[in-house]
Amino acid sequence: MYRVVWLILICCAVQVPLFAQKTQALWLDDLPIKSFSEGIPAVLPKTTAAGDSMLINGRYFNRGVGVNATSILAFYLNGKATEFSALVGVDDKGNKDLPHTFYVVADRKVLFDSGEMRLGDAPKPVNVKLDGVQRLGLLVKVNDEGRTKVYSNWADAQLVMLDKHLPKNIPNTDERYILTPPTAKYPKINSAKVFGATPNNPFLYTIAATGDRPMSFSAKGLPKGLSLDEKTGIITGKVLKKGTYTATLKAKNALGEATKELKIKIGDTIALTPPIGWNGWNSWARNIDQQKVIASAEAMVKMGLNQHGWTYINIDDAWQGKRGGKFNAIQPNDKFPKFTEMVDYIHGLGLKVGVYSTPMITSYAGYIGGSSDFENGQITDSIVANKRAFRYVGKYRFEANDAKQFAEWGIDYLKYDWRIEVPSAERMSVALKQSGRDILYSISNSAPFAHVKDWVRLTNSYRTGPDIRDSWNSLFVSAFTLDKWAPYGGPGHWNDPDMMIVGNVTTGTQLHPTRLTPDEQYSHVSLFSLLATPLLIGCPIEQLDAFTLNLLTNDEVIEIDQDPLGKSARLVWNKDGIQIWLKPLEDGSYAVGLFNVGDFGKTPESYFRWGDETSKSFTFDFAKVGLKGKFMLRDVWRQKDLGIFNGSFITDIRHHGVVMLRMYSK
8 A C-beta contact, residue 129 and residue 73: no
What strands lie across the sheet with 234-237, from one edge to the other? 203-206, 234-237, 226-228
Chain centroid to Cα 292, Å, comes to 20
Q: Do domains 276-568 and 572-665 have the same CATH topology?
A: no
Q: Which of 452, 463, 494, 438 is nearest to 270 (CA)?
A: 438
> Of the CATH numbers 1.10.1760.20, 1.10.150.650, 2.60.120.1060, 2.40.30.170, which one belongs to the domain with range 22-162?
2.60.120.1060
Rounded Cα distance between 141 and 396, Å, is 42
Please provide residue 460's backbone torsions phi and psi, each rounded to the nearest 5 degrees. -100, -20
8 A C-beta contact, residue 245 and residue 383: no
8 A C-beta contact, residue 251 and residue 207: yes
8 A C-beta contact, residue 630 and residue 663: no
8 A C-beta contact, residue 536 and residue 499: yes
Cis peptide before 513 (omega within 30 of 0): no
Classify domain 188-266 at the CATH class level: mainly beta
List, run by run, the mean pLDDT of 10-residue segments along the chain (666 residues).
42 47 94 92 91 96 96 97 98 94 98 97 98 98 83 98 95 95 97 97 98 97 97 98 98 98 98 98 93 97 98 97 96 97 98 98 95 92 84 95 98 97 98 98 95 98 94 95 97 97 87 96 98 97 96 98 98 97 98 97 96 97 96 98 97 98 97
DSSP string, 399-454: HHHHHHHHHHHT--EEEEESS--HHHHHHHHHHHHTTTS--EEEEES---GGGHHH
Name 264's Cβ contacts closer than 8 Å, sequence gap at least 6. Answer: 194, 195, 196, 197, 205, 222, 223, 226, 239, 244, 245, 246, 247
Rounded Cα distance between 292 and 511, Å, is 14
Task: Tell me, yes or no, if 467 is annotated catalytic.
Answer: yes
8 A C-beta contact, residue 494 and residue 274: yes
Name 7's Cβ contacts closer than 8 Å, sequence gap at least 6. Answer: none
The CATH number assigned to the domain with range 572-665 reads 2.60.40.1180
The predicted pLDDT at position 382 comes to 83
8 A C-beta contact, residue 74 and residue 35: no
Rounded Cα distance between 593 and 582, Å, is 7
Strands 135-141 and 71-76 come out as antiparallel
Please tell me which residue in 417, 438, 454, 498 is annotated as part of the active site: 417
Go through 203-240 and write b for each residue having 16 or more CB atoms within 10 A of its CB, e for each that does not: bbbbbbbbbeeebebbbeebbeebebeeeebbbbbbbe
Query: How many other C-beta atoms can be found within 10 angstroms of the C-beta atom of residue 303?
Result: 17
Cis peptide before 445 (omega within 30 of 0): yes
Burial class (CB in 10 A: 0-12, 13-18, 19+), 151: buried
Rounded Cα distance between 552 and 530, Å, is 14
Rounded Cα distance between 34 and 47, Å, is 13
Distances (CA, A) of 103 to 80, 117, 124, 491, 664: 21, 12, 12, 44, 47
8 A C-beta contact, residue 282 and residue 505: yes
Q: At residue 78, what is the residue type?
A: N
Rounded Cα distance between 22 and 26, Å, is 13
Name 238's Cβ contacts closer than 8 Å, sequence gap at least 6. Answer: 200, 201, 202, 203, 225, 226
Rounded Cα distance between 165 and 419, Å, is 42
Q: Tell me the angle at which helices 399-409 and 339-348 cross, rounded to the nearest 10 degrees.
A: 50
Task: Tell me, yes or no, if 417 is annotated catalytic.
Answer: yes
Please tell me which residue in 317, 438, 467, 519 is annotated as part of the active site: 467
pTM of the full structure = 0.95
Q: At residue 203, what is the residue type?
A: F
Name 657's Cβ contacts closer than 8 Å, sequence gap at least 6. Answer: 519, 520, 522, 523, 595, 596, 615
8 A C-beta contact, residue 359 and residue 426: no
Rounded Cα distance between 570 and 574, Å, is 11
Apex 460 CA angle, 208 and 389, nearest 5: 120
The upper half-sphere exposure of residue 388, i.e. CA atoms within 13 Å in the direction of its Cβ, equals 2
The predicted pLDDT at position 9 comes to 41
Can you give the residue ranges of every domain in the chain?
A: 22-162, 188-266, 276-568, 572-665
8 A C-beta contact, residue 336 and residue 355: no
**What are 432-435's contacts with CB under 8 Å, separation 24+?**
432/403, 432/406, 434/400, 434/403, 435/403, 435/404, 435/406, 435/407
Chain centroid to Cα 84, Å, comes to 33
Name 231's Cβ contacts closer than 8 Å, sequence gap at least 6. Answer: 216, 217
Go through 54-78 and write b for each residue having 16 or more CB atoms within 10 A of its CB, e for each that does not: bbbeeeebebbbbbbbbbbbbbbbe
The predicted pLDDT at position 146 comes to 67
Domain 276-568 has CATH 1.10.599.10: no
The predicted pLDDT at position 3 comes to 46
Ranges of beta strands (E only) in 211-367 are: 216-220, 226-228, 234-237, 243-253, 256-266, 276-279, 312-314, 320-324, 329-332, 352-357
Strands 494-496 and 504-505 come out as unpaired
Chain centroid to Cα 386, Å, comes to 28
Residues facing 220 on adjacent strands: 248
